[in-house]
Amino acid sequence: MPTSMRLPRASGVLLHPTSLPGPHGSGDLGPAAHHFIDWLKGAGQSLWQMLPLGGIGPGNSPYMSSSAFAGNVLLIDLAELQQRGWLGADALAHPPPADPRRIDFATMVPWRMGKLAEAARAFAAGASAADRADLAAFCSAQASWLDDYTLFMAQCDATGWASWTTWPAGLAQREPAALAAARVQHAEAIGFWQFCQWAFFRQWAALRAHAHAQGVKIVGDAPIFIAHQSAEVWARQDLFELDADGKPTVVAGVPPDYFSPTGQRWGNPLYRWSAHAAEGYAWWTERLRQTLALVDIVRIDHFRGFADYWEIAADAPSAQTGQWKLGPGVALFDAMRAALGDLPVIAEDLGVLSEPVKNLLRDSGFPGMSILQFAFAGNASDPFLPHNHKPHSVVYTGTHDNDTSVGWWAAATEHEQHHARAYLGTDGHDIAWALLRAAAASVADTAIHPMQDILVLPSDCRMNLPGSASGWWVWRFEWSQVHPWHGQRLADMTKLYGRA
């Protein structure tokens, strides 16, 4: 095991930026994000874990982005663009009515995108020479992914987001003449997407610098799979299991499990691992390099898929039928470590683990995850119980895919409740904080606390329900819900268990 991968004993909070307060329909990279970092410091926390920072896809999921490299333009702080003079004085005065505790994507997305278009036009008409030079430098530095992404987004917008496999054949198959003609045709739209990515990366750099100044590190998230309707699949069709027309032959998912009796058919195209191996896993290395340019530590989602993964026929209606296939194994991470050095990675190793998965976790040296909500269904041998935790691991009460701890408790079986009461020494009235305390006391080097559990929130505040296609990723909080005792209790607990 690479000893340099050992994370220091610390704790932090799981909260996606979209869940932050703010006046424009969803959280973003603006003042509330900076204030949240200040709150984390005051609460004794040194980690802020987020979900993927890429654009949202079907069902508004951040795990189905149109790019594995681009930032989510809906996170751009519009007020900062206004301060730079690219939005008028009254441009943000009348946002659509919104529930401050839920995101209405149907109104938020078009309104924010309209304001970004206004800002981009103002920039094009009157930006300073220094800002134009900064944008040009950004486009040059990020050209390896940005050129494909901006053309992809422009063409998607022009075709109403029709599948790229339905585009004119020359463009779908990336013939040089067709690409060149499309760049001319969509020059203005390409400029818009360049401006948006520049704004995102510029604002993100300021936020991360503020986090570092406050002693807070950012934990990011890299989904193992990417969407078929994405710039990278279109750009590198040879690296995915596609037919001659670019359509997936097999897709990703998981068989029936804890979350779903019929499994989960995610629908992402699967990697053609032989092609990745032939080029020394250069695509994945660049993807991780780009991610680690944004965050300090990265959680790799569905880590088990690198050992073995569930392959579903593209025409299968569910994930119940499929087969396990071997992934690239440790060779992938050896190649990335050779190129990038030590990898600050957390492996999401949840689910029924095969021997290849256990071996890969051991050989990679990455810390795995323990979920306390899973700990009480069995007996004292359950690996998720704190006395069975390993120091080189990360403990959560639950993740974005779990119910809140209050909701979990309400739905728990009689056995689970009895076991938890006895184990945690609680009558259950303060179950969320009893679990938070158990996580903080664990020997696991890292403890991550969902904000919903800190605020003792019920089921309707959970972030996601795996296998459910719509209605999720909408939760937000208001500062009025956060009381001084929340931060003080968290700080005291963190100090008590040596995570300060």
Of 345, 339, 74, the residue nearest 222 (C-alpha): 345
On the 0-12 / 13-18 / 19+ scale of CB atoms within 10 A, 459 is middle
Of 215, 214, 264, 269, the residue nearest 247 (C-alpha): 269
On whether the CB atoms of residues 463 and 472 are closer than 8 A, the answer is yes
CA distance 395 to 375: 11
* Cα torsion through 147, 149, 155, 157, rounded to 10: -140
Q: Which of 28, 148, 308, 401 is catalytic?
A: 401
CA distance 157 to 274: 33
Neighbours of 145 (CB within 10 A): 19
Query: Is 348 known to be catalytic?
Result: yes
Element (H, E) at 345: strand 345-347
Q: Which of 77, 80, 221, 348 is catalytic?
A: 348
Q: Which of 301, 308, 416, 453 is catalytic?
A: 301
CA distance 203 to 375: 40
Q: For CA atoms 136, 140, 142, 144, give the dihedral sign.
A: positive
CA distance 492 to 301: 31
How many C-alpha atoms does 340 have within 13 Å on its Cβ side?
A: 23
Strand 446-450 to 10-14 pairing: parallel
Active-site amino acid positions: 301, 348, 401
